[in-house]
Homo-oligomer: A and B are copies of this chain.
Amino acid sequence: MTPLTYEQAGVDYDKIDPLKVAAQRAAASTATQLARHGFSEVQASRGESAYVVDVGPFYLASIVECLGSKALVADEMARLTGTSHYASIAQDTIAMAVNDLITVGATPLVVQAYWAAGGSDWFGDAARSTALVEGWKRACEICGVAWGGGETPALAGIVEAGRIDLAASCTGIVNPKQRLSVGDALAAGDAIVMLGSSGIHANGVSLARKLAERLPQGWLTPIDERGTRFGDVLLAPTTLYSPVTEALWQAGIAPHYSANITGHGWRKLLRHPKALTYRITHVPPVPPVLAFIAEHAGHDAQEAYSTFNMGAGFALFVAAGDAQRCVDVARAQGIEAWVAGRVDAGPKQLLIEPLSLRFGDEALQLR
């Protein structure tokens, strides 16, 4: 059996990357427009997970994020079992936006819904529509954001019949301004605190879908002795981390930097451009669904940790003296956390010592 790679899952980054680079350059050139209004961008936020503008009394942060292909898993499970997982899918979509927005130190305030269906029929399924609405509302409540509104277009000819393209935009503020976290304070000696994930979240799903095609019972394949089905466990909703970042601020802790562990898995720990060594000394337990995928996709640890969150969905880089308190604050919010390692002086690399893994600077090229 040949191992499954992300490239086989159908996304060819060689085709997307030239456009991305052109778009990033064009976008960067528009920063000067803000001067017309007496404002300026936080230049260090270019290349970060959310874009930040200095509007005087505080910073403004904004973002739009796509769910990706996870809704296709929900569609398959609904077809096979009759159960709608769209409440979870709603939370996943909001998590994509909120978990990115908070990395810069922002408090998310407003979420807008982007629900583009392949036709009006999609919205006619009352159970599914209700699950989506209720899940969206619940996720907003967990994050303490107002659901501002959104769009529910029917896009026959663009979105496939029976499918939905889900995205969320989120706007927040960094207030007070010293909460801004774009890596200025990130330095050797910092501790790395990792926050637990609920499973695959919404990254690596295309690969999981390829894997389902290979499994004898497909989406219904049991992944443990209790008969937990692959499709069900894959649809566990993404953990929302904003309650933790808000509680940290209340506790007087301002992270030096944060990384949302999404696409590229743990390589996201290399996100900041500074030349620093990230040394992981404790690896969180791997969620059963991710262990299952790694085993059946034929992934070694290097491949698995460079693709999936492997149990840690968010990383906080904090002053060493704040590390244990950081863990306590997260646990008080019901989210598992670990002091997982530290930042050292040295070449830019990620060392996962318990697994003897190394990822160099070249492993993550986002800018």
Contact = CB atoms under 8 A, between A and B. Distances in A.
Nearest to A137: B26
A69 B157 contact: yes
Nearest to A20: B152
Contacts of A184: none
Contacts of A24: 149
A151 B136 contact: no
Counting contact residues on chain A (CB < 8 A from B), the size range is 35 or more
Contacts of A30: 137, 140-141, 145-147
Copies of this chain held together in the complex: 2
Interface in A26-76: 26-27, 29-31, 33-34, 36-37, 39, 41, 46, 51, 53, 55-58, 60, 62-66, 68-69, 71-72
Contact of A110 (B22, B53, B130): B53
A312 interface: no
A154 B145 CA distance: 28
Contact of A123 (B19, B71, B113): B19
Given A15-B120, A62-B110, A116-B165, A36 B144 contact: yes
A1 interface: no
A10 B156 contact: yes
Contacts of A171: 60, 62, 171
B27 A123 contact: no
B137 A27 contact: yes
A331 to B, nearest CB: 21
A64 B114 contact: yes
A344 to B, nearest CB: 31
A69 B158 contact: yes
A119 interface: yes
A109 interface: yes
A66 B155 contact: yes
A90 B140 CA distance: 30
Nearest to A68: B153
Given A41-B146, A158-B72, A33 B123 contact: no
Given A145-B33, A147-B26, A116 B66 contact: yes
A164 interface: yes
A355 interface: no
A18 interface: yes
Interface of A: 10-16, 18-20, 22-24, 26-27, 29-31, 33-34, 36-37, 39, 41, 46, 51, 53, 55-58, 60, 62-66, 68-69, 71-72, 107, 109-110, 112-114, 116, 119-121, 123-124, 126, 129-130, 132-134, 136-137, 140-141, 143-160, 163-165, 167, 169, 171, 173
Top 7 A-B pairs, shortest CB-CB distance: A51-B148, A169-B169, A27-B147, A12-B120, A15-B124, A15-B120, A26-B137
